[in-house]
Structure 1
Amino acid sequence: MKTLLAPLFLAAAFTVSSFSLALADNGPARKATQVAAYQSGLYTTVEGKLNIALNKQTGGVVNVRLLDQKGKILYDQQIGKRQTSVRMRLDLSDLPDGAYQVVISNGKDVTTQPVTIATTPVATSARLVALN
């Protein structure tokens, strides 16, 4: 009987110790990052500026990026966890003509808005008016 109890006790001790090590806290518990819901609006001005209005919930971050045709990041701003509304004005007058994208992301949802810059050529009149 003693020979049967010793291995049984030893097996129970190993099981309890391995179970307690599996449940041990290996550092501070990290809260899952929250995703902030957001609403955005974009509009342009006559001066060649792009206005971005962004309203979001607190608790998560939102990234706003302006990309060119090749995917190169021209502008990047991260809206913090505590901010709820942001208004930005980007000056696009120095950028060459072409297609661009404004990408707004909260880590889960991505909103992409196309922006096209096209300069109309100034038409010169072929007529000459002279006064005598």
Structure 2
Amino acid sequence: MKTLIKSLLVAFTLTVITFSASIAESHKPIGKPKNAATFKSSMYTNNEGKVQIAIKKQTGGTVEVRLTNSAGKEFFVQQVGKRQEAARLSLDVSALPDGVYQVTISNGIETTTQELTLATQQPNVAARFVAVKN
């Protein structure tokens, strides 16, 4: 009888410890990532009106690229994976309305924000045409 009680007590203790460990594991606070990859980025426009973004980073952490307007509405979100070292992104902004946008690149700890201004150029049309006839 003593052996049965001791066995049940050990089984109960192991169950409680395992359960409490699984609860503690699932309730980790969401905060800054442990493995933040350092990164470098560049941004430029091409002749087609697209925004080119180049990212070079360390492996082991993710980097996220976001395009938002001044009101905070997201138009583009892409995550560069842990195992990727470089990424080249091409954003077609020709369909977006004129305004000020922000391109935010972040690894969870360090954030880089570039401002992007879209403005439609009005064609320069002469007010009147003058011709001289000889």
- Partner residue of 2:21 out of 16, 23, 26: 26
**Percent of residue pairs bearing the same amino acid type:** 47
- Scaled by the length of structure 2, what TM-score is found? 0.72
- Scaled by the length of structure 1, what TM-score is found? 0.73
- Structure 2: gaps spanning 5 or more residues: 1-15
CA positional deviation for 1:33: 3.2
1:117 aligned onto 2:104: no
User: Which residue is 1:108 aligned to?
Assistant: 109
Moved over 3 A (4+): 129-132
Distance 2:109 2:90 in 1: 25
User: Which residue is 2:55 aligned to?
Assistant: 54
Q: Which of structures 1 and 2 has the bigger CA Rg? A: 1
One-letter code aligned to 1:103: T
CA positional deviation for 1:69: 1.3
Which residues in structure 2 correspond to 1:1-132 (within 5 Å)? 26-27=21-22, 33-129=34-130
Question: What CA RMSD, in Å, does the superposition of the two structures yield over aligned residues?
Answer: 2.3
User: Which residue is 1:7 aligned to?
Assistant: none
CA positional deviation for 1:26: 2.1
Number of residue-to-residue matches in the alignment: 108
